[in-house]
Amino acid sequence: MGPRPPSARAVTRWLLTHPDALPEGDRIQLEAVLANCHELTALSEHVHSFGHMVAHLQGDQLPTWIEAVTSTADLPSLRHFAQRLERDLDAVIAGLMLPWNSGVVEGHVNRIKMLKRQMFGRAGFELLRKRVLLA
C-alpha cells in the first residue's frame, strides 16, 4: 500500500500558490500529481497564465487566454468560467488593465456593515451614526 494521495483541497492550494512561494515538499508532491494527470497539468498552465495576467495588469491578453481555454475539451468548469468572462469582456479587460480599484471603498462598507450588525436591536440611529463617524 503506497502513500496516501493528497486531498483535493491541498492540490487546489498548490495550484493557486505562486510557484516561487510553494515550499519544496509541496512542489515535489504537485509535480508528482501533475505527472499522473494531464488534465491537471493543462489546468495548472491556464491558472498560472491567468494569475500572471492579473498580477501584471495584462488584460489585453484575456481574449487569447479565453480562446485557449475554450478550445480545451477536457476542462468544462474552466471553459464555463471563461465563457462567463466573455459576457462582459470589455469591463473585465478594463479591470485587468487599469491600476484603480474599489478596495478602499469596499473596506469602509464592510466596516460599516460590521458596526451595524454589532448594534442590531441595541440602540438607535444616533448612536450608530456616532460609532460610524468616530470609528
Domain chopping of the chain, boundaries: 103-134
What is the residue-averaged pLDDT of the chain?
A: 90
pLDDT band at 78 (very low <50, low <70, confident <90, very high): very high
- pLDDT score of 5: 86
SS (H, E, C) 56-87: CCCHHHHHHHHHHHHCCCCCHHHHHHHHHHHH
Q: What pTM was estimated for this model as a whole? A: 0.73
